[in-house]
Amino acid sequence: MSVVAKRIVSRPVRTSKESWDIITKIICKDDNKAITEFDLVSGIASAIISEEYPAKFPLVIKGNGPRVRVYCLYDEDAIVGEEAREEELNWPLTSENWVAYLPCSKNDIAWMSKNLADLSKNFKVYDKEIGLALDEQKSDVQENCKDLKIDEEAFKKL
């Protein structure tokens, strides 16, 4: 699996909302449907950026092509901007089935998950202390088993 890392200049150079707008532009390019979904979750995403979680815990987007990890730069790193990587993707990441994982504190997972689910089927949160791997594995298992059907009559005959 290939991974591409992006680093976005955030506070104090940009507000959290402006940082999210740059992320949207980088990831979605001209995909209006994806742009609409990114806009729908901008309040929650901006709150996460404001908490500075993406300094260490990335927003992760899986879709068409390599996985993308988006980090934000803060304070002196943002002002200097040497580590910034804000080029638009050169492939349509959101053109097929895609999902974006936002880092979150354990205390906020329940309400953020519910609010995100009300806004978009493509956005999920993960516990920043546990990491994405465990949450993503659960999601992948659920996705792989969604069409699983049990033949109850055959089961009764065993």
pLDDT digits (tens, 9 = 90+) for 4-49: 999 999 999 999 999 999 999 999 988 999 999 999 999 999 999 9
Is the predicted pLDDT of residue 158 greater than 70, yes or no?
Answer: no
Over residues 92-121, the pLDDT tens digits come to: 999 989 999 999 999 999 999 999 999 999
Is the predicted pLDDT of residue 141 greater than 50, yes or no?
Answer: no
Task: Give the global pTM.
Answer: 0.81
Is the predicted pLDDT of residue 142 greater than 60, yes or no?
Answer: no
pLDDT band at 56 (very low <50, low <70, confident <90, very high): very high
Phi and psi torsions of 151, nearest 5°: -85, 95
Q: For residues 20 and 40, what is the distance between their CA atoms, to the nearest angstrom?
A: 11
- The residues, any chain, with a CB within 8 Å of residue 48's CB and separated by 6 or more, are 54, 59, 102, 103, 104
Query: What DSSP assignment string belongs to 115-132?
Result: HHHHH-SSEEEEETTT-H
